[in-house]
Amino acid sequence: MSIVTNPDLPLPPPRFTDAEHLASSIIEKLTYQVGKNSIVAQPHDWLRAIILAIRDRIIDNWMESTTRTYEAGSKRVYYLSLEFLIGRLLRDSISNLELVDQINEAMGKLGVDLAEIAQLEPDAALGNGGLGRLAACFMESMATVDIPAYGYGIRYVNGLFRQEIADGWQVELPENWLAHGNPWEFHRRESSYEIYFGGKVDIIEQRGAEPKYVWKPAERMMAEAYDTPVVGWRANRVNTLRLWSAEPIDPILLDKFNAGDHIGALQESTKAETLTRVLYPADANPAGQELRLRQEYFFSSASLQDILRRHMQQFNDIKLLPEKVAIHLNDTHPAVSVIEMMRLLIDIYGVEFDEAWELTVATFGYTNHTLLPEALETWPVPLFERLFPRHMQLIYAVNAKILLHARKEAGASDEAIRQISLIDEGGERRVRMGNIAFLGSHSINGVSALHTELMKDTVFYNLHRLHPDRINNKTNGITPRRWLKECNPKLTALIRETIGDDFLDDAEKLQALNDVAEDSSFQERFEAVKRENKVRLSNLVGERLGTRIDPNAMFDIQIKRIHEYKRQLLNIIEAVALYDQIRSHPEMDWVPRVKFFAGKAAPSYHNAKLIIKLANDVARVINNDPSVRGLLKIIFVPNYNVSTAEVMIPAADLSEQISTAGMEASGTGNMKFAINGALTIGTLDGANVEMRDWVGAENIVIFGLTADEVDEARAKGHNPREIIEGSKELSQALSAISSGVFSHDDPGRYTELVGGLYDHDWFMVAADFDAYAAAQREVDAIWNDKPAWNVKAIRNTARMGWFSSDRAIREYARDIWRV
């Protein structure tokens, strides 16, 4: 229905993009949207005005993209992710609209410092780490390579916590990214859906037909959409990131209120508000909370209702679903979508069960992100049944169908049947979300070649044998716009000057830099850019932490979530060993190093928080010991997030990617560093393996056990005590740590942490230590040969283009989504 009677409505006035118009547009926004003049406007008012002026320039493309998709009847991709770690959007938008020069000129006219204002934009930290950042890179790449796509997620009011370091310990504070409002988003009140929880299912017998199932929920709330436009490179296309917020159906229960129960009157509001209030600060292990399960269902249901509504409005044929819709599950968090799709198809759209399952499988794809068994979500059957009684029925029905097929047609053994089942029957019965995601999808992909192979042999061993055609590899990527062009403008300028602009549209064109890698004048300029980036980071560290560091030292950086498998501990222990060496051999020519750490620990993860404290304790002692003569400094940068990464990565000489082999699914931090000309020291884990293939074994420093060797050591039971006692450096470093050299105030603080290494060393820290220390000395040797270092650094930049998320997205589009 339309209320418009005039078919020839005038078009809105055009939004010109020259500096003159941009400047007047910003003033207009400041005046009429923000309601301030330039005399009283605060920095945040300017930020809002600038964002609104830029946003206007996105909207025409946005509408054009949407219309183009609609008119062509194109298939759309729906990327479901519980996390989108997008960071700031202003610079990204300006850059992708190609308005950098114009906006700088406009700001010059207005006398406002853009850099300073842009700093005020909060990081949208709606994610924990790599998985959420991948979703953000993918959104940008889908727009860039012109794929009609929607991202669906949750509009958390409080994103990932803000980390402060107090006396060396992590302190978690709420992150309040919406404090000044969010000028990027559009609240679409009309796009809202009812979401149910709990209650019971009524069965209505039908004469001569299948019975009807009617879910009578105990609780209901609304999901309301907030849309953010996502601009691709050169504004080829603008897609939509649609985030859901929970709203009460009855914001106030007036009878309760009037009866004097003022708090009780707001219970519906509180319930809804709580649902989308916080992002769970869990990384690689499930929060195990009912609220988390409710969040997963809430956003899955809202997204599916929205997808089906759009599909039916345009195509009016539910059977066309797989032809027009590709739904992608970013890990198991949205896996309940598979069952929600079954419910909607059967109960709402009247599709018969077997056909509903076929449509579902043909529509869904699933990316697995981890092999850690504790990260494969499962939920207790009683909890699932209480919240989703209808879904539980459907899970049993799907399970019966699958197990029958597995037994009858695939001849699965009893053990295989137990592993394939959607229900884990060993002990407390649990619903297996990984199995639902796998069986409900026609494609299951890993995120690096190694991870994909390991998936077939471990977590999905039996499922893979049942469906050997489903698992495929899609190695992760990063968007070169944010992670090269925007975060490293100086390097970008140098590259453009040297090889032209082609690499901006196709990162693999960076290969042309190979021709100048040996050219000493290019090497000097490459090194000079790196040094400028290091000065920028040094200044930031000086301002924020008051520590002075020398930009001529090697900047050795490990930034990522703090986790035992990522082995920050290995790095810290090596620093302690190096500290010993520097003091006992002052006559030697030590390479000056600054070791940087940054990262957040899940609040409930005891050892990860202790590792942060250890890094800070070690830093305090080493940084204040004059006998080190500044040859080694340790810096822990608080509150790691996208914006911090954007400053630190371009300044890195050495990138630490040292996870226990077989445990990092891919990593994307590794790619960001290498494309910015850092050398990697790393294990043969995740995408490091493919990085070695691309950059060449001579341009990356690989050490340590392989995934197979780790497996073998664990199976056989290795003897870490023997290893430690056989390594003088390691045993000295460990006894220093465990005896309280770095923790006089609490000498026993690290006894248990170090004890774990002697006892089981699950993450192979002791097992890999000597190889790691030797690799670090190899790094020192390369550093001492400056031209050799520079050639390797340049070749890293030149050869990392394949790791663009544009390449990854093209592979998804071709093999999985078929768009």
Ligand X SMILES: *Cc1c(COP(=O)(O)O)cnc(C)c1O
Per DSSP, the three-state class of 246 is: strand
The position carrying tokens 């009140």 is 189
The position carrying tokens 């003088």 is 728
Q: Which of these ranges, 46-54, 125-133, 295-303, 677-685, lies near ligand X under the rule CB under 6 A?
A: 125-133
Which CB sits closer to ligand X, 130 or 650? 130
Which CB sits closer to ligand X, 333 or 561? 561
Output the smallest distance, CB 384 to ligand X, in A.
31
Burial level of 572, CB count in 10 A (0-12/13-18/19+)? buried
Catalytic residue among 242, 333, 369, 613: 369
Q: Which of these ranges, 128-136, 152-160, 273-281, 761-769, lies near ligand X under the rule CB under 6 A?
A: 128-136
* Residue 199 · residue 217 · CB < 8 Å: yes
Catalytic residue among 91, 430, 563, 566: 566
* Residue 571 · residue 652 · CB < 8 Å: no
Interacting positions 32-91 with ligand X (CB under 6 A) = 85
Output the smallest distance, CB 236 to ligand X, in A.
24
Output the smallest distance, CB 559 to ligand X, in A.
7
Which CB sits closer to ligand X, 151 or 159? 159
Query: How many Å apart are CA 454 and CA 461, to the nearest integer?
Result: 9
DSSP type of residue 409: T
Output the smallest distance, CB 664 to ligand X, in A.
7
Write down the number of H helices and E strands in the chain: 34, 24
Beta bridge partners of 164: 171
Sign of CA dihedral 129, 133, 135, 138: negative
Interacting positions 366-395 with ligand X (CB under 6 A) = none
29 is catalytic: no
Residue 129 makes contact with ligand X by CB under 6 A: yes
Residue 560 makes contact with ligand X by CB under 6 A: yes
Q: Are strands 219-231 and 186-197 parallel, antiparallel or unpaired?
A: antiparallel
Catalytic residue among 57, 294, 567, 672: 672
* Residue 248 · residue 222 · CB < 8 Å: yes
Q: Which of 459, 642, 658, 707 binds ligand X (CB under 6 A)?
A: 642
Q: Which of these ranges, 39-47, 525-533, 664-672, 798-806, lies near ligand X under the rule CB under 6 A?
A: 664-672
Which CB sits closer to ligand X, 560 or 749? 560
Q: Cα separations (Å) of 505 from 119, 478, 643, 799?
A: 27, 14, 24, 15
Output the smallest distance, CB 382 to ligand X, in A.
35
Output the smallest distance, CB 672 to ligand X, in A.
6
Residue 667 makes contact with ligand X by CB under 6 A: yes
Catalytic residue among 451, 470, 560, 795: 560
Which CB sits closer to ligand X, 133 or 451? 133
Query: How many Å apart are CA 479 and CA 430, to the nearest integer?
Result: 38
Output the smallest distance, CB 558 to ligand X, in A.
8
Which CB sits closer to ligand X, 24 or 285? 285
Which CB sits closer to ligand X, 363 or 475? 475
Which CB sits closer to ligand X, 301 or 688? 688
Catalytic residue among 75, 391, 561, 749: 561
Residue 133 makes contact with ligand X by CB under 6 A: yes
- Return the residue nearest ligand X (CB atom): 669
240 is catalytic: no
Query: How many Å apart are CA 342 and CA 346, to the nearest integer?
Result: 6
Output the smallest distance, CB 484 to ligand X, in A.
13
408 is catalytic: no
Which CB sits closer to ligand X, 65 or 666? 666
672 is catalytic: yes
The position carrying tokens 């009309």 is 190
Query: How many Å apart are CA 756 and CA 759, to the nearest integer?
Result: 5
Which CB sits closer to ligand X, 276 or 370? 370
Q: Which of these ranges, 493-501, 520-528, 574-582, 666-674, lies near ligand X under the rule CB under 6 A?
A: 666-674
Which CB sits closer to ligand X, 308 or 635? 635
The count of residues in the chain is: 819
485 is catalytic: no
Q: Which of these ranges, 228-236, 441-449, 638-646, 801-809, lies near ligand X under the rule CB under 6 A?
A: 638-646
Burial level of 723, CB count in 10 A (0-12/13-18/19+)? buried
Output the smallest distance, CB 565 to ligand X, in A.
10
* Residue 544 · residue 582 · CB < 8 Å: no
Output the smallest distance, CB 57 to ligand X, in A.
26
Q: Which of these ranges, 515-523, 640-648, 690-698, 767-775, lies near ligand X under the rule CB under 6 A?
A: 640-648
Cβ within 8 Å of residue 297, ≥6 positions away: 195, 197, 336, 340, 387, 388
* Residue 138 · residue 808 · CB < 8 Å: yes
Count of chain residues binding ligand X (CB under 6 A): 13
Query: How many Å apart are CA 464 and CA 275, to the nearest integer?
Result: 35
Q: Which of these ranges, 96-104, 590-598, 665-673, 773-781, lies near ligand X under the rule CB under 6 A?
A: 665-673
Per-residue contact flags (x/-) with ligand X for residues 80 to 99, judged by CB under 6 A = -----x--------------
Output the smallest distance, CB 350 to ligand X, in A.
44
> Which among 269, 271, 290, 287 has a CA at the least distance from the CA of 279?
287
Q: Cα separations (Å) of 12 from 54, 56, 60, 274, 595?
A: 16, 11, 10, 40, 54
Exposure string of 292-305, with b = 16+ CB inside 10 Å and e = fewer, is bbbbbbbbbbbbbb
Q: Which of 637, 645, 661, 753 binds ligand X (CB under 6 A)?
A: 645
The position carrying tokens 């949208």 is 124
Output the smallest distance, CB 152 to ligand X, in A.
21
Residue 170 makes contact with ligand X by CB under 6 A: no
Per DSSP, the residues of 725-760 read HT-HHHHHHHHHHHTTTT-TTSTTTTHHHHHHHHHT
Cβ within 8 Å of residue 448, ≥6 positions away: 473, 475, 476, 665, 666, 667, 686, 687, 689, 690
Output the smallest distance, CB 786 to ligand X, in A.
27
Residue 650 makes contact with ligand X by CB under 6 A: no
Residue 669 makes contact with ligand X by CB under 6 A: yes
Cβ within 8 Å of residue 546, ≥6 positions away: none
Residue 641 makes contact with ligand X by CB under 6 A: yes
367 is catalytic: no
Catalytic residue among 144, 228, 475, 668: 668
Query: How many Å apart are CA 348 and CA 32, to the nearest integer?
Result: 46
Query: How many Å apart are CA 543 and CA 538, to the nearest integer?
Result: 9
Q: Which of these ranges, 27-35, 127-135, 218-226, 247-255, lies near ligand X under the rule CB under 6 A?
A: 127-135
Residue 130 makes contact with ligand X by CB under 6 A: yes
Q: Which of 245, 488, 668, 688 binds ligand X (CB under 6 A)?
A: 668
Catalytic residues: 369, 560-561, 566, 668, 672
Residues found near ligand X in the complex (CB under 6 A) = 85, 129-130, 133, 560-561, 641-642, 645, 667-669, 672
